[in-house]
């Protein structure tokens, strides 16, 4: 995930691609979510009492939901800004390659996390799974938009893909926010 973030952000900056940079930021969010989840699970493994574990669970779930909401804001601002300003990202073969690998890896990772969550039933892990699924959507949109830009020079395809992706990110953010509200209510 760290390599994916660095490569996508680097490729995005080099190509002036909002889509690739957003994909890299999503990978960073996924890393942060994983760290938060590790914090939550290590609290349980250390034998913390139930009230402490529940507090950690609530905070971890809320942070994960907030990260997805921030990604939505980023996509709206930079997606619309890029179209309005007609910023033409150059094609990035590296960006296409990184997103192609993520299209394969992220769904498998989400599936494995879901299997774990069937056992532990963690709202924080459910929010993390939503972020992994979002990363898979992001990778597919990045592959489509950046691929069309590389293949045909359709610079606008990257912005169209970023804004279309917003539909999926909003759905995943909503799910994560509902999980956070559920965690806060308990």
Q: What percent of the chain has pLDDT over 70?
A: 98
Question: Tens digit of pLDDT for each residue in 145-179?
Answer: 999 999 999 988 988 888 888 887 788 788 878 87
Residue whose C-alpha is closest to residue 124's, from 176, 49, 46, 68? 176
Share of the chain above pLDDT 90, in %: 28
Walk me through the domains of the chain, giving residue ranges and CATH numbers: 2-185 (1.20.1510)
Is the model more confident about 147 or about 124? 147
For residue 124, pLDDT beyond 80 = no
Query: Are the C-beta atoms of residues 7 and 26 closer than 8 Å to each other?
Result: no
């Amino acid at each position: 995930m760290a390599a994916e973030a660095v490569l996508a952000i680097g490729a995005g900056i080099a190509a002036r691609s909002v889509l690739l940079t957003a994909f890299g930021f999503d990978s960073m969010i996924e890393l942060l979510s994983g760290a938060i989840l590790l914090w939550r699970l290590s609290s349980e493994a250390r034998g913390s009492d139930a009230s402490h574990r529940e507090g950690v669970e609530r905070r971890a779930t809320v942070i994960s939901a907030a990260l997805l909401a921030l990604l939505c804001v980023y996509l709206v601002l930079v997606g619309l800004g890029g179209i309005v300003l007609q910023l033409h990202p150059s094609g990035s073969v590296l960006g296409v390659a990184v997103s192609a690998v993520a299209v394969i890896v992220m769904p498998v990772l989400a599936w494995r996390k879901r299997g774990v969550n069937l056992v532990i039933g963690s709202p924080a892990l459910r929010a993390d799974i939503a972020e992994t699924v979002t990363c898979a959507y992001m990778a597919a949109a990045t592959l489509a938009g950046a691929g069309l830009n590389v293949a045909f020079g359709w610079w606008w395809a990257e912005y169209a893909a970023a804004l279309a992706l917003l539909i999926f990110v909003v759905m995943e953010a909503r799910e994560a926010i509902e999980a956070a509200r559920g965690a806060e209510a308990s």
